[in-house]
Structures are given as structure tokens and as C-alpha cells.
Amino acid sequence: MLQLYHNDMSVCAQKVRHLLEEKGLPWQSMHMSLRHKDQFDPDYLRLNPNGVVPTLVHDGKAVIESTIITEYLEDEFPETAFRPSDNAEKARMRYWTKQLDDSIHAATVVVTVGIGIRHQYEIHSEEELNEILDAVPNSKWRVLKRQLIENGMNHPDLPDALIRLKKMLDDMEGALTSREWLVGSGISLADIGLYPYVMRVDHLNLGDLISRRPNLASWYERMSVRPACKEAYLGQWLNEKYVNDLMEKGGEAKKFILSWLSE
């Protein structure tokens, strides 16, 4: 049995849901409310000591880290493959997913919290906010989250984070010049991994950054119409309030961001 501890709008969880759907694997949803601190529950921390989603539990064995989970699913269920058979192409695929882990995910968190969701914390008193932040096990993330909530767009990491996301979009536009998918001849873990990060740019009301890159825009559309993609991202997994908040706050910052990025 496959159980996925996840959250509706978590980028790392979205890509695992998408792969499960593409592979046609039945899975049980263990939905976590990150706002209600489900990720810090002692039982959950025994599965994932980092206190983050996603976690896959396969026949009682926990697998953590979204990129590792997707590779695990490929190893365990190779029937419908999402890794190219050619080793050089597979290495290129892993270079894409490595970039997610090395920098793209961190940049996305900075931009999402700094521009979009910091405002959701305004409802909390100083004491409640301290309680929420004190529960974060990773001390670096605890400090960064507080600074992003307090400083928003003025946080010193924000410019570099935006530049990193722009580079991601430029790299994808280049890679998609003469091919439909990021590597090989079909959809792979590279496409499935990058998609939620491009969608986050869109949800932050920065869709101009996508539409101005025609190869990327066609790829985004190609991905979005896949039945497995709809299953993983829409319906019960689309948190409209979350997206509306991102759209609203992103919209307020959009003009400044686009001109700052020389777009």
C-alpha cells in the first residue's frame, strides 16, 4: 500500500502526486495542514524528522525527500517509466531535478513567503507567531521564515530568489527550443519536477514571465492538459483561497518585479 503524507499546495507534494497519477498507482491520501502544524506532530516527525511534506509510506517503509521519492517510485514501479533509458539523457534529467533541490525550491519558498503568504500570518499575535516559529525543527528555516514574514519584499534574499526563478524559466525556454520535453523523447521526472515551480510563478500573478517565453508556454500547456496532471493539481487539491491570496499579493508586486527583472 502507498500512503502519501502531503499538502494540497505544497510544490514538493504536487510533483509526487503527479507522478503517482501518471503511473496509475492507487494511493491513500494523508493530507496535512501545514498551518495547523500537522508536520510537527511527534508521530509525523518519526516518519520525517525534517518536519516537512511529502513523505511516502510504502508497505510500512517511510521514504522522504520528494526527488528521492520520485526515484524510489521509478525503481519500485518501473512498468510505466518516467526516466529516459539512455544514461546520458538520464544524467541530464537528474541535473534538472538536482537544481530543484540545490536552489530552485529554496528560491520559490523565499518568493512565496516573502511576496505571497507572509500576510496570512498577520492574524496571529506576537505570542502565537513565536509559538508557530518555535515549532520549526530546522533552525535556518526558522530564522529565515521569521525574517521573510517581517520584511517581505525588503528581505535581502528576495532579489537573488527572483533572479534564480528567472534563470529557471530561461533555461527551460532554451532546452525546449527543439524538443517537446526537457530531456529525451517523452515526459520525464524533469518535467514532472519542474512543473509545480513554473505553476507557482503563474500563481504569483507572474504569468507574463511564462507567456513571453513561447517554448516554455507551449510546454506548460502540454503539461496542464494531461489527465494525470489535472488529477494531481485540480479538484480537491486546488486550494482556491491559497491561489487567490498569491494572485492578489503577486498582483500588487507584479509591476515592480517585472521591471526589476527587466521583463
Ligand X SMILES: N[C@@H](CCC(=O)N[C@@H](CS)C(=O)NCC(=O)O)C(=O)O
Give the interface with ligand X as residue ranges (CB under 6 A).
Answer: 10-12, 34, 39, 52-54, 65-67, 105, 136
Question: Least distance from C-beta 242 to ligand X, angstroms?
Answer: 12
2-6, strands of its sheet edge to edge: 28-31, 2-6, 55-58, 61-64
162 within 8 A of 93, measured Cβ to Cβ: no
Q: Closest CB to ligand X among 136 and 189? A: 136
Q: Closest CB to ligand X among 62 and 88? A: 62
Question: Least distance from C-beta 73 to ligand X, angstroms?
Answer: 13
DSSP labels, 223-261: HHTSHHHHHHHSGGG--HHHHHHHHHHHHHHHHHHHHHT
Q: How far apart are CA 217 and CA 68, in angstroms?
A: 28
Q: Closest CB to ligand X among 136 and 209? A: 136
Question: Least distance from C-beta 116 to ligand X, angstroms?
Answer: 13
Question: Least distance from C-beta 166 to ligand X, angstroms?
Answer: 20
Question: Least distance from C-beta 177 to ligand X, angstroms?
Answer: 28
Greatest extent of the chain over all pairs of C-alpha atoms, in Å = 55
Q: Closest CB to ligand X among 197 and 213? A: 197
- Grid look-up 491570496 returns 245
232 within 8 A of 17, measured Cβ to Cβ: yes
Q: Closest CB to ligand X among 136 and 246? A: 136
36 is written with which cell numbers? 495547523
